[in-house]
Amino acid sequence: MALSMDIPGANKSHDVVIEIGGLPIEVQTTDAEFERLLKVRYGDYVRPGAASQFSLRVQLTTPETFDPDADAEVWLEDREWRMERGDFRARWNPAERQGQVLQSANPYSIDSVLRIVHTLMLAPEGGFLVHASSAVRNGKAFLFSGVSEAGKTTMARLAPADVALLTDEASYVRKVDGSYFAYGTPFAGEFGEPGKNISAPIAALYLLKKAPENRIDEMDPAVAVERLLRNILFFAHQAEIVRQVFESACAFVAAVPVFQLSFFPDQRVWELIG
């Protein structure tokens, strides 16, 4: 005879809705401590009581290895995206808008899964996550992109008081009704602070280059697309996704002014922005 036992509160739902880029994902957990961890980690991005069409069920376990800086593998299998790194295993079904995550109770694994899931949700609609800091000034968003050490965090640190920072690490770009918007993200780099949870139409993308003096130069469109592609967060390398990201980058450069910003790292660079 099978025995069953109900432990009061053991399976109580501690779901947390995390809304990034206007896309709320319900992270489902039965662990109260993990719920608290999520609320602390995602702060203003938590939407208590909000409805969500997307859900991720998290099952907590002990990981085989833990290296949040390792690259995740992402592949498509049976119409589901599979994601795997030493510290998590996850799947995402885009048609059903739901997935599962197996990880330990830490913020880094779910952070990586959320980044990947958001890139997968954004790709078909022409949006993307890009290695860039971004900020809003006078109602317009500006992106500052570049490889590691190019100055993304430096631009965020130098921002004057009238600038609202969206992120110093991973900018969230969505195409809404044919226009491009940047959204704040909780994905922080060296700055260590989540961005403001606001959005604004993108006025310009600046590709960063440290230099002895501040200067803005127009860019050849093909070179701009090539540089942008180098910085788009790109986890899945299936042909369909690669084509979507390529088309997204071309469409973005056709619609948004892209410049090279050569800058000397002091506050005067912000005199050129906005």
Partner 1 sequence: MASTEMYLTQSADIASRTLGDDTLIMSTLDSTVFVLNSVGTAIWNAADGATPLSRIIHERVCSEFDVTDEQATADATEFVDELVKHGILSISDTPVPQQEAP
Per CB under 8 A, residues contacting partner 1 are: 220-223, 225-226, 229-230, 234, 237, 239, 242-243, 246-247, 250, 253
CB of 245 to partner 1, least distance (A): 8
CB of 123 to partner 1, least distance (A): 13
Tokens of 225: 């697309």
Closest CA to 247 of 108, 128, 91, 104: 128
Alpha helices in 20-166 (DSSP H): 32-42, 107-122, 152-157
CB of 72 to partner 1, least distance (A): 15
Beta carbon nearer to partner 1, 21 or 126: 126
Closest CA to 129 of 224, 200, 232: 232
Beta carbon nearer to partner 1, 213 or 220: 220
For residues 247 and 154, give the distance between their C-alpha atoms in angstroms, rounded to a whole number.
30
For residues 267 and 230, give the distance between their C-alpha atoms in angstroms, rounded to a whole number.
27
Beta carbon nearer to partner 1, 23 or 229: 229
Are 233 and 130 within 8 A, CB to CB? Answer: yes
Are 60 and 29 within 8 A, CB to CB? Answer: yes
For residues 2 and 229, give the distance between their C-alpha atoms in angstroms, rounded to a whole number.
56
CB of 246 to partner 1, least distance (A): 4
CB of 71 to partner 1, least distance (A): 13
Are 40 and 186 within 8 A, CB to CB? Answer: no
Beta carbon nearer to partner 1, 60 or 242: 242
Contacts of 2 (CB under 8 A, 6+ apart): none
Beta carbon nearer to partner 1, 110 or 225: 225
CB of 83 to partner 1, least distance (A): 18
Beta carbon nearer to partner 1, 56 or 232: 232
**What is the gyration radius of the CA atoms in the chain, in angstroms?**
20
DSSP string, 9-20: TTT----EEEEE
Beta carbon nearer to partner 1, 46 or 249: 249
CB of 206 to partner 1, least distance (A): 19
